[in-house]
Structure 1
Amino acid sequence: MRGLQFTSKASSPTNSYAESPARTPLSPMSTSSHNRTFSATMMEVDLLYAEEIIKRWDLDSSSYTKLDYLFSGDRREAREFVKSVKRLQSAMHFFVSESASSVKIIHAQKLMQVAMKRLEKEFYRILSSNRDYLDSESVSNRSSRARSSVSDDDNASEEDDTNSSVSDTERAIVSDMVMVDLKSIAECMISSGYGKECAKIYKIIRRSIVDETLYNLGIKKYTFNQINKMDWETMEPKIKTWLHAEKVAIKSLFYGERILCDYVFSSSDKIREACFSDICKERATALFEFPELVAKSKKTMERMFRTLDLYNTISDQWPEIEMIFSFESMAIVRTQAVTSLVKLGDTVRSMLSDFEAAIQKETLKTPVHGGGIHPLTRYVMNYLVFLSDYSISLSDILADWPIQVQSPLPESYFSSDNLYESSSVSARFAWLVLVLLCKIDAAAEHYKDVAQSYLFLVNNLNYVVFKNPIADGLTIEVARNSFRRFNLEFNKAYKKQSSWVISDPKIRDQIKISVAKKILPSYKMFYERYREVFLGADSVVRFAPDDLGNHLSELFHGTGAPGSVSTSLHSSSSSSSSLSRSH
């Protein structure tokens, strides 16, 4: 080969012309003919060069050792092989354009087929034997510096390979080199017209990896009937599995596949989109179909929080979903994700409506023993506390779902002074709290003893305030009315019982201590919570906790007994009654 190159160079017309200055210049026609002859000679040289390299790696050659691989070691032989293919391409284009003999074209085509068969073998081997180094997590975590540090230039030297990833781990180095090898082969095959064959190998292997990963994550394809027939004990674990799997699939699996596909097939937008779509579209669509099926299945209040979890997961991942599946051919995946979000939001709104209806239907006819906290109060407020953890998602879900105020609930409760938006999360929560308070207020009327009725109200109102996840401004009116009701009821009870007499001092003290223990702790907590809010407000907060203690200590001595405060209390009671009537 070296002899051929030397002979060609020494005998070229250009060199002869340069060495003979006295020679008669060639005519334009003869110059053109001379250039074509020279180009043909060089193309023949390229053909011979390619033949030597390609046949050395011919899979059907008797001298070929099946354990040998081009893309191993320092990759110098691989770079020479790729270079020879490119020179073979140039020779083929020249022979076709010059209408050369069919013998040369056929010979070049056969060499190209040998080369492509070799590269197909190498491509398949690299993909299949380096699965651990091409796993989605490794690919998705690769830094841009590590990716660009490995030279994939045809003229890169052995020193480039040696120094490419000095500061990276061995795994990252191998992963980078493998990706560069795949890209080099893909570019060579695509430019040679064998992109379809290359893509076919890639899709088969990478699709199997995606399927295996999703299977290991517990992702299965369900029908609506399968989901709808599941009881909650069966469905909830499947939702928890999906919540974990979706995050891994988006942040690692599909993201890694997109990076790998974009890199390997960077020379062809059409092929990289087709490969990624064929590998991931069906799987990703099935992944995002599951939440829609859950949303369309039976709706019960116990499913509210898992439904919100599903909504949260898709909503939080939406920027990544949109980026990963940005190809036009992947529009179905984006559409499915949006559809699931919409269906989940509809389900949450439906559940909130059912929740409100359930509160409204409660009769609360049986008084709670001792005037304690009603189970409905505990259930509703605890439920709202848990819901408050999803305030961001709920703000999206409730944005276009304004509250329809219905009589007899006060429309003024939802005026602009109390709420920023009637469709906000806070407004919805405030509405549910108000529905609850109306039920509690009605339940208090079932107590025959007025004092115990008041105690029931204090205990339940205090629990509402203590558990309230709602912003301060949303409970001001409720708190104001609670203080007014307290003032009125306490004055009534004190006026009535101030004339009562308990002769035995020991029994009298025991009763007063018992009453104080039931009232003072709850009132003190309520007072501390809102005293700054109503500081200076006229006739709203009448009693400090110490004032209540003093009044209670002076009970049961009889009218006109030492320490009686009937006069001052009567005045307070009158004004409170008047205030109550005016509101």
Structure 2
Amino acid sequence: MPFKGFRTVFYNPSSNSSNTTAASSSPSSVSSSRPASTPPHNLSESMMDKNVEQAKSIITKWDPHATTFAKVTSLFYESRSEAQQFLKSVKDLQNAMHFFSSHNSSHKLVHAQNLMQIAMKRLEKEFYQILSSNRDHLDPESVSARSSTSGYEDDAGSNDEIQLAGESINEVELFSTLAMSDLRSIADCMISCGYGKECIKIYKNMRKSIVDEALYKLGIERLTSSQIRKMDWDILELKIKGWVNAVKIAVKSLFHGERIVCDNVFTSSEFIRESCYLEITKEGAIHLFQFPETVTKYHKSPEKIFRMLDLYDAISGLWPEIDSIFSFESISIVRSQALDSLIKLGDTIWTMLSDFESAIQKDSSKSPVPGGVLHPLTRYVMNYLSFLTDYSVILSDILVDWRLPENSSLPESYFESPNPNDHPPSALTIRLAWIVLILLCKLDGKATLYKDPALAYLFLTNNLQYVIEKVHTSNLRYLLGDNWISKHKTTVKQHAASYERIGWSKVLSAIPEDPTATTMSAVEAKECFNNFKSVFDRVYRTQSSWIVTDRKLREQIKKSIAKKLLPAYRAFYIKYRTTLRTENDKESILRFGPDDLGNYLSGLFNGTGASGSGSSSAASSSPAQSRGKHSRR
């Protein structure tokens, strides 16, 4: 059939030439009066041949083995437009190779393949040169710092868009953006042509060296457990502080910046991005996050808890970034290592806090502190706890499951939450209140070491006042609450009142409570004066070395004693001074007046002793040593 013969000729380029000739010479053929059409195969092959020739022209021009110019000159640096033409020619060459392969044009395929190898060698060289010459511009820390404004984390856009953006960004940012765009273009081209392995190898080697060098400059060392255990604590403490500073830079700048560069260069393949980032950062990141876990194997003592808290705080604070930057499943081992270190640090901190509590309970010092001042244990424990509260947030996480010992019989009201709306109180609040209570119980025991009950109460007053002050002036206040402070202030007042009652009761009872309502003979008055001065002298001598450490509390106690003693003594002195003037030893009996007595009281609780300096000359010696020094009033 004539119509069938026409379709066969026009649509079937594989028909043999005899059929074509027969069809065209048939009297009934429509095409007998028309010129023969060019077969599609010949047209396509002609186009492919043309593409190969055009590609050959630019590829051989930049063959580094062909000319000195091509060997020493960078294509992308010399002419960006020609570089883009080079990449287009490679793509056209690849299309031609596919065509030749499917049409059994082996000799043309070999020729195209040779050109492709030359082109890939050129692109390898360009890829390496761009990475090398832009080492500073593509520094991960710099890239990360600029990412918030440059849009690196998105596709960098076309060359035209980059050139337009160049007017609004600085030179360094423009260079780094152009470099990443060029690297991405080369990577896309090489990967699509089947030469991704060569491209990736160059990238991994170059970028891994940058990351490793940066970690080294940050002071990240490869230390074994054995090396750390043998270190002096002072040296290890410096390394911990250095690590805390370094890990923030490493995560937020180094690893983040490298992720940005990697994501921008290999946009065409998520698998390649993941593979490259894994090999570049895995070793350094794992080593970085192994350090805290290794440190936990060092000899544990309560004083080291603060450095452990610093390590814990650093990792927990960076966890969102760690989880995001190392989100690839293949590099989940880095997240696991960071999490393992966090868990080990939490366990170590828990243990150290328990050891601290145990150390308080086991304190066995048997010597009373001279003067009833602060016990070293009080200062140590409260300073320790006040420093701990600087880490309240992370301690709340670590101690979330802590509970009171089962054998505790203490009233729950002792652990009331500082916030009335917060029920029940947090585990951290309970734990710290429990430790303070252990300290106070220990101090009660140490007060029994004093032979003088008055000094024992003064000791308790001093130490509890210090505890309250440390709570009030630190973050402990927000954990224990104002109610806790108020309750213990009441206890301080009770201790101070007990001290006054026991320490000054004999002095107060040496004179009549209401001298104006009492009538004495000269002999009785003389005996009362002598008894008072004897008792006062003994009490003053005893207490002249006692100390009240808190200035405000010291003044309050002195005023309280003076308020009870001076009015009664003044009234008694004035009433019987005239009566005793006729006595031969009146100088001895009336050797100091009410104001002198007040001066003696004002010199108390400074710990100066009988030979020390008080607030006046009257306080510089005991009453027995002051005979004749004071005016008679």
TM over 0.5: yes
Distance in 2 (CA, whole Å) between partners of 1:72 and 1:519 is: 82
Is the CA contact (8 Å cut-off) linking 2:402 and 2:431 kept in structure 1? Answer: no
The equivalent residue for 2:328 is: 327
1:106 aligns with 2:106: no
Asked if residue 51 in structure 1 is aligned to residue 56 in structure 2, the reply is yes
2 CA distance for matches of 1:300 and 1:120?
Answer: 56
Following superposition, the deviation at residue 519 of structure 1 comes to 8.5
SS of residue paired to 1:249: helix
2:564 corresponds to: 551
CA distance in 1, matches of 2:551, 2:132: 73
Deviation, structure 1 residue 430: 1.1
Query: How far 1:309 moved relative to its partner?
Result: 0.7
Aligned partner of 2:449 in structure 1 is 446
Instruction: Give me the whole-angstrom Cα distance separating, in 1, the residues matched to 2:557 and 2:338.
Output: 56
Q: 1:561 to 1:466 in 2, by over 3 A?
A: farther
Distance 1:350 1:554, change over 3 A: farther
Give the corresponding residue for 1:137. 141
1:503 equivalent in structure 2: 529
Partner of 1:47, secondary structure, is helix
Aligned partners of 1:556 and 1:500: how far apart in 2?
A: 10
Letter in 2 for 1:61: A
Compared with structure 1, are the counterparts of its residues 145 and 51 closer, same or farther at alpha carbon in structure 2 (3 Å cutoff)? farther
1:146 aligns with 2:150: yes
CA contact (8 A) 2:100 2:108 kept: yes
Mapping 1:523-562, distance limit 5 Å: 524=552, 549-554=562-567
Confirm or deny: 8 A CA contact 2:204 2:280 kept in the other structure.
yes
1:84 to 80, 89, 104: 89
TM-score of the two chains, using structure 2 as the length reference = 0.74
Indicate conservation of the 8 Å contact 1:311/1:345, yes or no: yes
Contact 1:520 1:545 in 2 (8 A): no
In the TM superposition, what is the alpha-carbon distance from 1:43 to its structure 2 partner?
Answer: 2.3
Does the Cα contact within 8 Å between 1:458 and 1:522 map onto a contact in 2?
Answer: no
Letter aligned with residue 469 of structure 2: F
| Residue 431 in structure 1 maps to residue 434 in structure 2 | yes
Q: 1:224 to 1:552 in 2, by over 3 A?
A: farther
Q: Does 1:41 align with 2:46?
A: yes
Structure 1 residues 513 and 78, CA gap change in structure 2 (3 angstroms): farther
| Matching residue of 2:4 | none
Q: How many residues align?
A: 516
For the residue of structure 1 that corresponds to 2:72, the secondary structure is coil
Q: Which residue of 1 aligns with 2:466?
A: 463
Deviations 1:295-322 (A, max 9, x none): 1221012311111111111111111111
Q: Deviation per CA, 1:183-216, whole angstroms, max 9, x where unpaired?
A: 1111111111111111100001111111111112
Q: Which residue of 2 aligns with 1:378?
A: 379
| Contact residue 360 and residue 439 of structure 1 kept, 8 A | yes
TM-score normalized with structure 1 length: 0.80
| Residues 536-570 of structure 1: CA deviation (Å, up to 9, x unaligned) | xxxxxxx99966652253576899999xxxxxxxx
Alignment check: 8 A CA contact 1:49 1:84 kept? yes
Residue type of the alignment partner of 1:274: S
Q: How does 1:204-243 map to 2 (within 5 A)?
A: 204-243=205-244
In structure 2, C-alpha distance between the alignment counterparts of 1:116 and 1:102, rounded to whole Å: 21
- Quote the residue 2:339 is aligned against: 338
Larger mean Cα displacement after TM superposition, 50-59 or 545-554:
545-554
Provide the rounded CA distance (Å) in 2 between the counterparts of 1:474 and 1:395.
20
2: CA distance, partners of 1:378 / 1:119? 70
Structure 2 counterpart of 1:289: 290
Residues of 2 paired with 1:346 and 1:142: CA distance?
A: 38
Mapping of residues 3-42 of structure 1, within 5 Å: 34-42=39-47
Give 1:351 deviation, angstroms.
0.8
Match of 1:251 in 2: 252
- 1:417 Cα deviation from its structure 2 partner: 8.7
**DSSP 3-state at the match of 2:296:** helix
Displacement after TM superposition at 1:382 (Å): 0.9
For 1:555 and 1:441, locate their aligned partners in 2 and report how far apart those are by CA, in whole Å. 34
Q: 1:482 to 1:93 in 2, by over 3 A?
A: same
Q: CA deviation at 1:405?
A: 5.3
1:110/1:168 CA distance change after superposition, 3 Å: same
Closer, same or farther: CA 295–121 of 1 in aligned 2, 3 Å: same
Q: Deviations over 1:14-54 (max 9, x none)?
A: xxxxxxxxx9689xxx99x8444333322222222212111
Q: Deviations over 1:320-372 (max 9, x none)?
A: 11111111011111011011011111111111111111111113421111111
* Sequence identity (%): 49
> Alignment partner of 2:146: what SS?
coil
Q: 1:486 to 1:139 in 2, by over 3 A?
A: same
Task: Choose 477-486 or 209-218, whichever is displaced more.
Answer: 477-486
Tell me the CA shift for residue 402 of structure 1: 2.1
Assess, with a 3 A threshold, how the Cα gap between structure 1 residues 126 and 168 changes in structure 2: closer, same or farther.
same
- Deviation of 1:415 (Å): 5.7
Q: Is the 8 A contact 1:126 1:182 kept in 2?
A: yes
SS in 2 for 1:211: helix
* Alignment correspondent of 2:615: none
Q: CA deviation at 1:294?
A: 0.5
Instruction: Report the AA paired with residue 249 of structure 2.
Output: V
Deviations 1:254-305 (A, max 9, x none): 1111111011011110111000000111110011001001012210123111
How many Å separate the matches in 1 of 2:495 and 2:461?
10
Amino acid at match of 2:563: N
Cα deviation digits, residues 207-248 of structure 1 (max 9, x gap): 111111111221121221111222212211221221122111
The one-letter amino acid of 1:88's match is L
CA distance in 1, matches of 2:540, 2:210: 76
Alpha-carbon distance between aligned partners in 1 of 2:539 and 2:498, rounded to the nearest angstrom:
22
SS in 2 for 1:141: helix
User: What are the ranges of 5 or more consecutive residues in structure 1 without an aligned counterpart?
Assistant: 1-22, 528-542, 563-583
RMSD over aligned Cα, in angstroms?
3.5
Which protein shows a greater Rg? 2
2:428 aligned partner, one-letter code: V
Shift of 1:253: 1.0
CA contact (8 A) 1:150 1:165 kept: no
Deviations 1:115-173 (A, max 9, x none): 111100110111122211111121112246535799753xx45xx56543223222112
Q: 2: CA distance between counterparts of 1:300 and 1:489?
A: 38
**Counterparts of 1:512 and 1:74, CA distance in 2:** 99
Change (3 A) 1:40 1:151: farther
Aligned to 1:65: 70
SS state at 1:403 partner:
coil
Deviations, residues 424-452 of structure 1 (Å, cap 9, x unaligned): 22221111111111111111122222221
Counterpart for residue 169 of structure 1: 170
CA contact (8 A) 2:155 2:264 kept: no
1:389 aligns with 2:390: yes
**Inter-partner Cα distance in structure 2 for 1:150 and 1:454:** 75
The one-letter amino acid of 2:564's match is: H
After TM superposition, the structure 1 stretch with the greater mean CA deviation from structure 2, 165-174 or 110-119, is 165-174
d(CA) in 2 for partners of 1:181 and 1:257? 17
Question: Is this contact kept in 1: 2:373–2:548, CA < 8 A?
Answer: no
Q: Secondary structure at the match of 2:76?
A: coil
